[in-house]
């Protein structure tokens, strides 16, 4: 049977790791990630000095920390992208177990840093948010279970993955962190759909999500306050959404100029959740469209390369990681323009945050490892081989 390769030459025996990695990795997606990180440093220079002055730090304290954590994130991304899918899966399972236990113990040992949601462990010199590391691990574990379910006499992997997703969603809702809970459920739903879930079942699950949202609205003051603020047609100009909306409006097409923005002096989360408002005010719609194009390029290229993949585990895991990456960016930007309720979610590789940066580097590294070019037979060749 003749083997065909998409976009590369057959693997050469004994080829060194680095040349082989460089030849097979998706360099366009990797370049987009590096540009997003560069944009994050640029916006951090504009957004973080007011907060640093307020907290008594040097003007570029948060930028320096972002550069440090970003360096760790990029290192993790490069190292993970060089691994084989089997090694990625094994390490992801171990990482998921550690993050799952850490998430379970948050109510007892975690802190909220005055934000009303217990999501972090305080380490003194930094903080750790387990949910950020849980997401990529969960995607890989759920994909492994679903792929195993497709084998003859395989385990009920879809049911196991669903039970795991429900357990994680419940723990996240208790913090409360409904944004991450929705993201985990979305990632599982995408993989389940790709794995061949009946449409009727997905519709039923959507109905359960609506019922769960109604229950949360009636029983969680935190959740109800955010939904009411989103549905209210009048935006209070003194709220975070009000400041962000005004900043985007003032920025126009080309922005008010570098360093001339005012929203960073009013928004406490200008360098994290609302970093896109700083970009829109100072650099205008032009930079926002460039940022959207970079995220779109990573997701679309990853999905196109995964469409050629024959291994169901790699296809499912890569799809979950790519969609979760893109949807998180969409949610962050959607909140800033009032298309979605406030979620408290960072913009991947652009917002400040040690946990989100390092976890994002690991997740994208996994995605790059799964989308590397590998020798694969044409589907027709595979079918003919099975018929012989």
In a structure prediction context, what are the per-residue pLDDT tens digits for the chain, which is 388 residues long?
A: 334 344 444 445 567 888 899 999 999 999 999 999 999 999 998 888 888 888 888 888 899 999 999 999 999 999 999 999 999 999 999 999 999 999 999 988 888 876 767 888 888 777 889 999 999 999 999 999 999 998 888 899 899 999 999 999 999 988 888 888 889 999 999 999 998 877 777 777 778 777 877 877 777 776 777 777 677 766 666 677 788 888 888 888 888 888 778 888 877 777 888 899 999 999 999 999 999 999 999 999 999 999 989 899 999 999 999 999 999 999 999 988 888 877 778 899 999 988 999 999 999 999 999 999 887 654 444 445 544 4
* Residue 99 · residue 133 · CB < 8 Å: yes
Sign of CA dihedral 175, 177, 182, 184: negative
pLDDT of residue 302: 96
pLDDT of residue 138: 97
pLDDT of residue 13: 55
Q: Which two tokens stand for residue 71?
A: 């360096």
CB atoms within 10 A of CB 115: 12
Omega of the bond prior to 153 within 30 degrees of 0, cis? no
Q: Tell me, yes or no, if the pTM score tops 0.75.
A: yes
Query: What 3-state class would DSSP assign to 165?
Result: helix
Q: Which two tokens stand for residue 339?
A: 């298309």
Q: How close are the terminal C-alpha atoms of the chain, in Å?
A: 11
Distance of alpha carbon 350 from alpha carbon 342, whole angstroms: 18
Distance of alpha carbon 165 from alpha carbon 196, whole angstroms: 18
CA-derived radius of gyration, the chain: 22
pLDDT of residue 266: 79
Sign of CA dihedral 195, 196, 198, 199: positive
pLDDT of residue 1: 38
pLDDT of residue 59: 87
pLDDT of residue 382: 47
Distance of alpha carbon 347 from alpha carbon 36, whole angstroms: 10
Strand partners, 376: 4
């Amino acid at each position: 049977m003749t083997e065909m390769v998409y976009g590369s030459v057959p693997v050469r025996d004994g080829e060194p790791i680095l040349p082989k990695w460089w030849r097979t990795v998706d360099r366009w997606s990797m370049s987009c990630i590096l540009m997003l990180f560069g944009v994050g440093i640029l916006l951090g220079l504009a957004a973080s000095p007011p907060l640093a002055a307020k907290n008594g730090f040097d003007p570029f304290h948060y930028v320096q920390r972002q550069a440090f954590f970003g360096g760790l994130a990029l290192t993790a991304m490069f190292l993970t992208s060089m691994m084989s899918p089997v090694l990625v899966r094994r390490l992801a399972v171990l990482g998921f177990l550690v993050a799952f236990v850490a998430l379970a113990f948050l109510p007892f040992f975690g802190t909220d840093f005055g934000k009303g949601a217990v999501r972090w462990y305080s380490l003194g010199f930094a903080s750790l948010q387990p949910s950020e590391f849980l997401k990529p691990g969960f995607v890989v574990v759920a994909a492994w279970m679903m792929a195993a379910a497709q084998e003859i006499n395989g385990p009920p992997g879809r049911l196991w993955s669903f039970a795991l997703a429900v357990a994680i969603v419940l723990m996240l809702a208790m913090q409360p962190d409904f944004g991450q809970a929705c993201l985990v459920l979305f990632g599982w739903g995408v993989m389940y759909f790709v794995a061949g879930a009946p449409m009727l079942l997905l519709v039923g699950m959507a109905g359960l999500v609506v019922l769960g949202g109604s229950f949360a609205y009636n029983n969680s003051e935190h959740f109800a306050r955010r939904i009411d603020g989103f549905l209210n047609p009048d935006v209070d100009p003194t709220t975070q959404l009000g400041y962000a909306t005004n900043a985007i409006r003032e920025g126009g097409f080309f922005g008010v100029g570098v360093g001339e923005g005012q929203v960073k002096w009013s928004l406490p989360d200008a360098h994290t959740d609302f970093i896109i408002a700083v970009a829109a005010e100072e650099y205008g719609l032009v930079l926002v469209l460039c940022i959207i194009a970079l995220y779109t390029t990573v997701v679309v290229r990853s999905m196109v390369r995964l469409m050629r993949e024959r291994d169901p585990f790699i296809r499912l895991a890569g799809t979950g990681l790519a969609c979760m990456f893109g949807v998180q960016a969409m949610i962050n930007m959607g909140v800033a323009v009032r298309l979605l309720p406030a979620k408290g979610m960072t913009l991947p590789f652009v917002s400040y945050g040690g946990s989100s940066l390092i976890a994002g580097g690991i997740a994208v590294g996994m995605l790059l490892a799964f989308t590397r070019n590998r020798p694969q037979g044409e589907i027709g060749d595979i079918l003919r081989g099975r018929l012989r």
